[in-house]
Structure formats: C-alpha cells, structure tokens
Structure 1
Amino acid sequence: MREVYFIKQNKEKWLGIEQVIQGKMKKNPDDLSSLYINLTNDLAFAQTYYPKSNTTVYLNHLASQIFQKIYKTKRVEQNRILYFFKTEVPMLVFQYRRYLMYAFLFFILFTMMGVLSAIYDKDILTVTIPNGESYVNETISNIKKGNAVAVYQQGSTWGSTIGIIFNNIGVGAKLYLYGIFGGVGTLFALLSNSMMLGSFQYFFYDYGALKDSARGIWLHGVFEIFAMVVEAMCGLILGASILFPRTLSRFNSFKNGFKDSFKIFLSTIPFTICAGIIEGYITRHALKMPLLLNVIIIFGSLAVIGFYYFIYPSIVNKKLNNHINDAVL
C-alpha cells in the first residue's frame, strides 16, 4: 500500500485519538484499550513498510501518548502520590527535557554574569541581594571572625526552617508563574537569582572564604538551586505553550502547558522543603562537622536530585517504549 493512501485511510482515526489524548473526547478504559490495539497495528504496519518515514515517528509518539492515557486509568488512586512521583512526573520531564536543558544553560550563563559583575564591581552584591549593604558588612565581619556561615546560625531552628521553606517556595512560584509573560518573566527572575548566586560566591572567593562558604551554602544549596532551575524550566514550558500553540488553539495549548508544567513544579516542593530543613537544622553546624560529612551530604543530594530529573525520566520512557514494542510485536 502506498504511504499516501495509508495516511488518507487512517487520518480521521488518528485525529480522533489525538482528541482523546488532549481530553477533548472521553473514553472508558475498554475503549482506550481498543484504540491502543488498533493504533499499534497501524504502527506495526508502518514500521514494516515505511520504517524511516515521519508517519512511523508520528504513530510511535501517538502510541506512547495513548499508552500513558491507559496507564493513568488503571487503579492508581490507592497509590496516587507514588504514581505521581514515580511515573507521571518523570514522563513529563522526559517529554519536556529540552526545556530543562535550556533552563540550565540560562542558569549557567546568568551565574557567570554574576561572577563577572562581581569581579569588575565590588559593590554589586549590595544591589543584587535584599538589604545588601548590611548583609555584606555582617558577612565580612563574620569572615574576619573565622565563621563565614554565621548568618545561618541566627534564630531558632524550627522558626528559620519554616521561614526559609516559605520564602523558597515563593521564589520558585515566581520563577514558574512569570512564564505566563511568554517566558520572559521567568528568564528575568532566573537572571536575578543566578546573578545573586554568582556574585555571592565570588564575594567569598575574594575574601578567601570560598571553601568555608561552600561547606555551608551547598549543604542546602544543591536541592534549593537545582529546584530553582527546574521551576524555571516549568516557566519556560508555560511561556512556550502560549507563544507556540502549534496545531492547537492558543487557549488549549496554554491549558495543556499549564497542566503539565504545574505537575513538574509540584515535584520540586519536596526538594525545596528538604533544602529548608537542611538550612535550618544542619547548615548552622557546617564548619563544626567533619569535612567528609559535608561532602557526603552535598554530593549525595546532587546524586538524588540529578538522578530524578536527568536519568530516571529516560529509564521510565524506555520502559514505556518497551511496553509499546511488546504490544506491537
């Protein structure tokens, strides 16, 4: 069968499946299974006769989407939270993985801008952080006393923890929701926070206290900063859904973009809470604990969150594709 005729023969069916995936048409689990079986038959035919065609790529993507739809209709209510973090979020992160890459590239660029700004303007930190002048003076005094992270030892542990958690969630919400301005708002918020980080780290380097600051700041900073970048990713997804609706109406594209990005944003909350707990209870003891313990906490945190957002989504996607291939075969 010629490919053109194959497409013409099945086009309406495939468009109907797209409607189901987008939630415009409701189907019960049995109907979804029938659609999936029918679609995998088309995919098997396309893989046999048009292996390098865009039609095969399209059908494989469609089969992946409808399989996810079926998977969600299974009885996951009893383990809904587990399913959300174990399967749903990783699938979305893999789907939008290029936005995570964009967010990290912008983060690195903006952080380097903060470092360069601090090199050429020693007073930049007084501008980039709240209450900059008094904070800088206090930190310089602490460094001279041999306690670069003394600022984290103020206040009660539980009070500091609660305040830090709510503050960081607020920062993350801005990074995400500012994406509604076509992603520009997210980039501006990321620029502000990244330049603050870059200039702050150079400030400690300039005063010969980079090692001590790293032992303290990055105990909680790994979760906090990594989550911030993921939240920026969510803002970019939101902005792209408005700017590039593709075949959907702009409203439906925004609705889908918001639904997907919000789920990813929610996945950062546990990491933000962990960062707040570490900052409130552990960072204040950073210079008193053995260096090896600092290293274990810092790189252990990096391994956990890096695995979850960079490696695990590929594992989940591979399992999904194996299920599809098994169904086709």
Structure 2
Amino acid sequence: MREGLFLKKNIDKWKQYQYEAASNPDEMAQQFTELVNDLGYAKTFYPHSKVTQYLNGLASKIYLGIYKNKREETSRFVRFWKTELPLTVRKYHRELLYSFLIFTALAVMAAFSAAHDETFVRGVLGDRYVEMTEDNIAKGDPFGVYKDENKIAMFLRIALNNIQVSLLVFVAGIFVSIGSAWFLFKNGIMLGAFQYMFFAKGLGWPSVLVIWVHGTLEISAIIIAGGAGFILGNSILFPGTRKRIDSLKRGAKDGLKLMIGLVPVFIVAAFLEGYVTRYSAMPQWLSISILALSFNFILWYFVLYPIRLEKKNRHIKSLS
C-alpha cells in the first residue's frame, strides 16, 4: 500500500484518538493495540516517514495514559486500606463502641441466664445441637463438630455464611438502627449460651483455645457490621443539617466501606475455622499465638491505628 493511501485510510481514526479522550480503560487499550499495529506496518514499509514518527508519538502518549490510569488505580487501592478506611472507622468509633457494648452485654446476660436456668441453653441453641455436643463430649472429642466436613467445603460454606450474617446485620440498620440491634441481640445471646455450655462441662479454657481461634475474627466482624448498621440507621435518625436522603446516602456509603473492610476478615476467619480449628489438639502456644495475633490485628487496625492516623492528619493540617 502506498504511503498516501495508508495515510488517507487511517488519518481520521488517528485524529480521533489524538483529540478525543477514551471513555474507559478498555477503549484506551483497544486504541493502543490498533496504533501499535499501524505503527508496525509503517515501520516496515515507511521507516523514515513522518507518518511513522507521528504514530510513534501518538502510541507513546496513549501508553503513558494507560500507565497513569493503572498507577492511579493501584494507589487508590492502597490509599483505601491505608488511609480512607481507617479514617472512616475513626469517624464512627462511637457507633462501633455501642455495637461492642450491646453485643458483650447480651452475651454476658445470656451466660448469666444459662447459669440459673438449665433449659436456657437448649432454648437458644436447640435440642439437636446440644445433644450432638454432649455426645461428642462423651466420646472424648467435644469439638468434633469442626472435623466432620471437608476442609474446602467447610471453608466456602462458613465464608458465605459469615458474609451473609454480617450483611444482614448491616442492612438491617435501615430500620432506624433497631434491626442491627436485634441481630446483635440474637448473636450475642447465642454466643453467651454457647460459651457457657462448655464452661458448665468443665471445658471453658479448652473451648477458648479452640473456638476462639476463628471466633476472634468472626465475632469482631459481626460487631463491626453492627456498627456499620448503626451508621446507616443514625443517618436517617440524625441527618443534621443535610437533607435526610443525602444523609442516608452518606451513611450507606460509609457503612459499605466498613463492610468492604471486613471482607479479608471474613475470609481469614473462614479459613481458620475450616482448616485450623479442626486440630483441637494443637499445642497451646500455637492456639494462643493465633488468638493474640487476631485480637491484636483487630485492636490495632480498627481502634489504635485510626486514632493515630487522625491525630497525624490533624497535626499536619495545623502546620499548614
């Protein structure tokens, strides 16, 4: 093909690529691919032509645009976990504290009720589960429930269940926070009754070493999801100077950020329950190490680090 015909055939496309920005990354990538093909053709047949130089410059420009977008997406991902999410957590520490206090108080109340009413545990957990646990205890394997299922199947089932439960706790906040409080009530009562059942059988400390290997992250996720639900509900109850619909949008957005932040917690908790908790005879030092690591992570990332980051940002602003 003659250079003039090659130019006439493609010049409109090239000018479009040069002066009209791509609407999305996929379109930009497609433009870059076509330009590379045209550039390769030009270098083959017109190596010293101005058309070749023009295409080289245009392709380089689009390549830099792709690289810039990729770098911004990567930095946005890092910024979310390093800055955006922790500052959102700090903004709503009060709601998270309320969620923690409600859940803990109900768990303690449930344990107290179970200690004074022999039927309470069965009423909460159901006869079938209690009898299965008692049967496992009689067999000398009180935590056998964690060993009956395939590891992968158990991991997937628990991960989906954790996500479902936490999402329900969050979304229920739309009912002016009462829905989230109800789910915290329900889960807190179940935890208190469940934990007391093992203490009553003289298996308190062993149950902590086994169950809380995954329970530390799992229960923390439910409490944080409850806080996210309170954010959603309070945005309706207390819109402040904003329109209620605008306040709701902001509350939903901030609450959803917390839920996104819980995704790694869900996955790790499910992994621990599916793959680690089944080894109930693991060394105590290993169990305590996992417990301590999980607890310290939650304490650091959702409590201490957000406070520290907020103070640092406030200090920087005061200097500017």
* TM-score bin, normalised by smaller chain: 0.7 to 0.9
Question: How is 1:1-329 mapped onto 2 (pairs within 5 angstroms)?
Answer: 76-129=72-125, 132-286=126-280, 288-327=281-320
Given that 1:128 and 1:196 are in contact with CA atoms closer than 8 Å, whether structure 2 keeps it comes out as: yes
Q: Which whole-Å CA distance do the structure 2 matches of 1:205 and 1:78 have between them?
A: 48
Given residue 290 of structure 2, which amino acid in structure 1 is its aligned partner?
I
Q: Is the 8 A contact 1:204 1:213 kept in 2?
A: yes
Letter in 2 for 1:318: K
Q: 1:284 is paired with a residue of what secondary structure?
A: coil
Amino acid at match of 2:162: N
Which whole-Å CA distance do the structure 2 matches of 1:278 and 1:250 have between them? 41
Letter of the aligned partner of 1:238 in structure 2? Answer: L
Aligned-pair Cα RMSD in Å: 1.2
Q: 2:63 — aligned with what? A: none
Shift of 1:323: 1.9
Following the alignment from structure 2 to structure 1, what is the Cα–Cα distance between the partners of residues 269 and 301?
16
In structure 2, how many angstroms separate the alpha carbons of the residues matched to 1:139 and 1:106? 28
Q: CA deviation at 1:300?
A: 1.0
Unmatched runs of 5 consecutive residues or more in structure 2: 1-70
- Greater mean deviation of Cα atoms: 117-126 or 265-274: 117-126
Distance in 1 (alpha carbons) for counterparts of 2:117 and 2:191: 15
Q: Offset of 1:76 from its aligned partner?
A: 4.2
Kept in 2: contact 1:143–1:209 (CA 8 A): no
Structure 1: distance between partners of 2:282 and 2:310: 40
Deviations 1:111-140 (A, max 9, x none): 1121122112222233323xx211110101
Larger gyration radius, structure 1 or structure 2: 2
Q: Which amino acid aligns with 1:229?
A: I
Residue 146 of structure 1 and its aligned partner are, at CA, apart by 2.1
Kindly provide the CA deviation profile for residues 156-179 of structure 1, in whole angstroms up to 9, marking residues without a partner as x. Answer: 000000000000111100110000
**What is the letter of the counterpart of residue 122 of structure 1?**
E
Cα offset, 1:80, TM superposition: 2.3
Amino acid corresponding to residue 209 of structure 1 in structure 2: L
Q: TM-score, normalised by structure 1?
A: 0.74
Task: With the length of structure 2 as denominator, give the TM-score of the two structures.
Answer: 0.76
Match for 2:115: what amino acid? I
Paired AA for residue 303 in structure 1: N
Structure 1 unaligned regions, length at least 5: 1-74
**Contact 1:148/1:212 (CA < 8 Å) preserved in 2?**
no
In 1, distance between residues paired with 2:271 and 2:308? 30
Counting matched residue pairs gives 250
Identity rate of aligned residues, in percent? Answer: 37
Q: Does the CA contact (< 8 Å) of 1:107 and 1:194 recur in 2?
A: yes
Taking the aligned partners of 1:80 and 1:123, their CA distance within structure 2 comes to 53
AA in 1 matched with 2:303 = F
Distance in 2 separating the partners of 1:144 and 1:278: 25
Measured after TM superposition, the shift of residue 79 of structure 1 is: 2.5
